[in-house]
């Protein structure tokens, strides 16, 4: 059993997909500030082809739209591309899985159905999520699927009983990232996942330093920043460690260290890296950069919709470039 849906269709040549995504890239919103500070940002959005988003006025619509776009890209891919991008889509579908588990826990059947609609999860996983009565019943089935990838996914039900859904999500995400970088990957995908691990480790380090936690943070292995460097930074007990590592990783560090600025610096560093890959590397880099840009757009749209009644300056700070 696999986490992702099996596609029998052969898909299209890589050049075809790259040409299509280049055409679609033209539709990305670029001037977010002009949109946010316009007299009516939602009306401006509606004028740029986002009528559905505005009509629904729901923050999760951009994420559903993102899921549909990812599904479209996955279905267009040929089998060689699907093999290369499988870790990426697996990682993305973990988010769908977590949302579905949260809706299951909250008995929100409507949203559960919606989130599974454009999902790339395998039919068996979707059926499990839809039909089984509660999270403790679903988790052993999810574990049976994930354990094929790595035995470290075992014990999800126990983890849920001890630490709740948050602990399960953290465990699955971390195990999936570590497992992915250890498996054979395309060099660009390897670079992407190593950077994701770095981002996760730096966020852990920052939280550890900010809230002066006693326990040492658990760092994931496989990133570009070695574990001893992270451990040493965690021991320094100043905010400098995270800032230095962000500068080392992305080339620039935020002037003021806040949770938002750290997260933004890391995400924007990844955006710059992928843009560079898209310019200099093969089609894989271009496709990955497109998928990432779709994520950034969904996140920005979600922030605008969530902050429609908030101070625009605050909303502007949430926007990723």
Partner 1 sequence: MEMQKVLIAFAAALSIGLPAFATAWAQSKIGAAGAGALAEKPELSGTIIILLAIPETMVILGFVIATMILLTVK
Interface positions with partner 1 (CB under 8 A): 12-20, 22-24
Which CB sits closer to partner 1, 17 or 101? 17
Which CB sits closer to partner 1, 153 or 290? 290
**Tokens in use for 254?**
């935020």
**What is the smallest separation between the CB atom of 203 and partner 1, expressed in angstroms?**
37
Which CB sits closer to partner 1, 13 or 164? 13
**What is the smallest separation between the CB atom of 27 and partner 1, expressed in angstroms?**
9
What CA–CA distance (Å, rounded) separates 321 from 188?
A: 22
**What is the smallest separation between the CB atom of 287 and partner 1, expressed in angstroms?**
12
**What is the smallest separation between the CB atom of 19 and partner 1, expressed in angstroms?**
3
Contacts of residue 280, defined as CB under 8 A and 6 or more positions apart, other chains included, come to none
Contacts of residue 105, defined as CB under 8 A and 6 or more positions apart, other chains included, come to 134, 135, 165
Which bin fits 281, alpha (ψ -120 to 50), beta or left (φ > 0)?
Answer: beta
Phi, psi for residue 44 in degrees, rounded to 5: -65, -40
Which CB sits closer to partner 1, 250 or 293? 293
What CA–CA distance (Å, rounded) separates 80 from 86?
A: 10
Which CB sits closer to partner 1, 78 or 113? 78
How far from 172 is each of 85, 95, 151, 199, 232, CA to CA, in Å? 19, 10, 11, 17, 26
**What is the smallest separation between the CB atom of 118 and partner 1, expressed in angstroms?**
20
Contacts of residue 56, defined as CB under 8 A and 6 or more positions apart, other chains included, come to none
């Amino acid at each position: 059993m696999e986490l992702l849906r099996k596609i029998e269709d052969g898909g299209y040549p890589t050049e075809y997909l790259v040409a299509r995504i280049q055409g679609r890239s033209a539709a990305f919103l670029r001037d977010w500030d002009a949109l946010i500070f316009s007299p009516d940002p939602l009306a401006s959005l509606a004028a740029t082809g986002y009528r559905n988003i505005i009509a629904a006025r729901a923050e999760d619509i951009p994420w559903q739209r993102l899921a549909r776009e990812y599904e479209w890209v996955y279905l267009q891919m040929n089998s060689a591309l699907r093999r290369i991008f499988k870790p990426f889509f697996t990682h993305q579908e973990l988010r769908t899985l977590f949302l579905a588990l949260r809706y299951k826990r909250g008995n929100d059947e409507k949203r559960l159905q919606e989130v599974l609609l454009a999902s790339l999860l395998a039919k068996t996983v979707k059926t499990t999520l839809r039909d089984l009565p509660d999270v403790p019943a679903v988790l052993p089935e999810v574990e049976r699927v994930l354990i094929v990838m790595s035995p470290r996914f075992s014990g999800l039900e126990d983890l849920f009983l001890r630490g709740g859904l948050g602990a399960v999500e953290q465990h699955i995400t971390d195990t999936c990232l570590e497992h992915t970088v250890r498996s054979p990957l395309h060099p660009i995908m390897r670079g992407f996942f190593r950077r994701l691990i770095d981002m996760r480790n730096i966020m852990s380090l920052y939280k550890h330093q900010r809230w002066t936690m006693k326990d040492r943070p658990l760092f994931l292995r496989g990133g570009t920043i070695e574990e001893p460097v992270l451990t040493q930074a965690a021991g320094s007990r100043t905010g400098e460690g995270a800032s230095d590592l962000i500068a080392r990783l992305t080339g620039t560090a935020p002037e003021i260290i806040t949770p938002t600025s750290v997260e933004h610096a890391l995400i924007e560093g990844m955006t710059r890296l992928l843009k560079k890959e898209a310019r200099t590397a093969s089609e894989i880099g271009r496709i990955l950069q497109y998928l990432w840009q779709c994520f950034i757009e969904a996140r920005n749209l979600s922030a605008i919709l969530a902050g429609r009644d908030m101070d625009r300056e605050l909303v502007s700070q949430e926007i990723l470039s």
